[in-house]
């Protein structure tokens, strides 16, 4: 009797082993909790920002992933010769860090929206809080041009057209600001991508009446401008304007030089930016 019982127990154990092997072998990839290669079910946010409402932009004080990282050393955006990463990422390594966080937990999906990135650059990095509306949108493959401006009764049209490109490869490559497309207000000195030091001579051309040009030097890893110059009187039709700004810091990183003007209907009505390197 004991021999019979022992043999029955061995048979049951063998059968159980076969069942478990069939459930957990090569068929393990059918587990419903497994994430697809593109990430944990998080998709690119819809471009909710309209020409009259920018409430979906990151809230004031929201820090992009790159802000807490070390400054970049002036590398160009891969695939775009001569275009420098101005904001929010300074290096490809920072992009890859964010991509890993996004794929694992959907971290800061607004990086995948060109409109939200342009508005956040304008309002939270440059500090032009009043420019809270998307006025135009053009996306062509891995490049985008987003117009931003004032909303409400004080609207003066487009304050600037922000130029963005995809930083990195793949469907989740984030948008990166690389400059502005200028028309009636430009910043041509220093040249885009130039290596500069302090004090910095700045200038360009402007069309307008009784303009007051303010210049700042900014870096993504710093919350305050590295230097400020205010203000230079300018005006006319395509007339040159010139100024100079002293700044401290930079450490070889890509810096943003931004010139703004306003004072007629709002503090900032137009702006233009360029990217420079520091020694």
Tell me the pLDDT tens digit for each residue of 107-152: 999 999 999 999 999 999 999 999 999 999 999 999 999 999 998 7
pTM for this model (two decimals): 0.76
Between CA 196 and CA 85 the distance in angstroms is 16
Tell me the pLDDT tens digit for each residue of 233-257: 999 999 999 999 999 988 878 999 9
The encoded tokens of residue 160 equal: 């600037």
Between CA 222 and CA 107 the distance in angstroms is 22
96 torsion bin: left (phi>0), alpha (psi -120 to 50), beta (else):
alpha
Between CA 102 and CA 95 the distance in angstroms is 10
């Amino acid at each position: 009797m004991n021999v019979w019982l022992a043999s029955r127990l061995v048979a049951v154990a063998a059968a159980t082993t076969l069942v478990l092997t069939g459930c957990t072998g090569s068929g393990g990839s059918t587990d419903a909790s497994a994430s697809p290669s593109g990430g944990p079910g998080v998709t690119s946010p819809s471009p909710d920002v309209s020409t009259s409402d920018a409430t979906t932009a990151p809230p004031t004080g929201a820090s992009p992933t790159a802000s807490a990282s070390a400054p970049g050393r002036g590398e160009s955006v891969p695939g775009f010769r001569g275009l420098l990463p101005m904001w929010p990422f300074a290096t490809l390594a920072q992009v890859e860090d964010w991509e890993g966080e996004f794929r694992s937990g959907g971290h800061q999906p607004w990086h995948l929206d060109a409109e939200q990135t342009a508005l956040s650059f304008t309002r939270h990095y440059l500090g032009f809080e009043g420019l809270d509306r998307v006025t135009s949108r053009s996306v062509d493959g891995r490049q985008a041009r987003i117009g931003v401006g004032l909303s409400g009764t004080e609207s003066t049209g487009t304050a600037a057209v922000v130029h963005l490109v995809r930083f990195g490869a793949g469907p989740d490559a984030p948008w990166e600001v690389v400059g502005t497309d200028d028309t009636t207000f430009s910043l041509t000195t220093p040249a885009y991508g130039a290596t500069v030091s302090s004090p910095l001579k700045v200038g360009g051309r402007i069309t307008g009446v009784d303009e007051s040009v303010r210049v700042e030097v900014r870096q993504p890893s710093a919350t305050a401008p590295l230097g400020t110059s205010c203000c230079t009187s300018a005006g006319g039709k395509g007339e040159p304007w010139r100024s100079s700004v002293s700044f401290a810091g930079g450490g070889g990183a890509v810096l943003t030089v931004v010139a703004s003007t306003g004072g007629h209907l709002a503090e900032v009505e137009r702006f233009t930016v360029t990217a420079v390197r520091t020694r």
